[in-house]
Structure 1
Amino acid sequence: RYLEQPDNKQISFTPLICMHCVDAPCLKACPSKAIRRENDGRVFIDENRCDLEKECVEACPYGAISINVEKEVAEKCDFCTHRTEVGLDPACVSNCPTDALVFGDLDDPESRISKLADKKKAKPWKAEEKTNPSVLYVSHEKWMEKKANTGVQLDSKDEDVTYEQNNLKK
């Protein structure tokens, strides 16, 4: 999912991905225990254990979990574990043409991401949820709060690009 800034002649995109929260409400809400925390802190959905009860979708205050109807499982961003395990950045980071996305260890004060987060005064989105998210945003603006629940999501099932809003096709 992503957000587009309203009433602006220039479009600015803000990706809405899993925040890999330290206090992840989805993890606590999942009755089948399909959601777990990896050793590196990532929140992961085990598709083999997912029973599609959807409590995790409802529990996530960021709207980061979706239902894959074809596979009949809940799914979300996992920071491209298959890439990061072999030393690559997540696909969104390596393909961002403006270098607006940075991936790394926020606990390492010498890492590029820690230095940038400090310099740019990056902060979590929806801090009032007290989930302690691992994803930070720079230039967080109030319009995000209003638009987040009407964000646009590309539908991966179709050859043609279609849009979904609040999980309802337009």
Structure 2
Amino acid sequence: MRDMAAKKNPASRRAGEAARRAAAAQRIGPRPARPTRPRHLYDLNPPGSYYREWDTPNGTDEEVMHKVNDTFGPDSDAALGMRFVLEYRKTYGPRVPVMAARQLDQIVVRTDLATGLAQTMDIPPEEAREHLHTLHARGELLIADDGSLWMTVPPGTGTNDRWVFVEKKADAPLETTAD
């Protein structure tokens, strides 16, 4: 009769289930920790010449821009470049692979990659550009030494312990020359 009462009492049933789970967890032991992926592209240590230099602006966006504007002027090339770095920092984290990010922007501007992505995803081209930078920041796209863009698999993904270049997504854009 007592077992029937326990079956009808939800609180008693939950307590019994919790006790069984606790006993099973104790027999099995602790779960192995899940390997964590690095949070930023810098931590993945991508290969190649485009990833040798990383810009790390110190301070808030406002502090950095104030310093650059005071030193070089708000309309200077340095101020324009710093605005790009600060924009990239929102996607890439504290360390920005400026050469690689600028090369990705050149690919976006000079090829139809972003346009095709925008049409496929039915999003504006600027959103497609941001999407490509997000994939790049996660290590799913990389710039090869020849300036081309590749879909990649970063190390630490599954059993992979090194970078794998899977598919070329865009050739390096040709330089335009003024006649």
| TM bucket normalised to smaller | under 0.3
Structure with more helix by fraction: 2
Query: Which structure has the larger Rg over C-alpha atoms?
Result: 2
Structure with more strand by fraction: 1
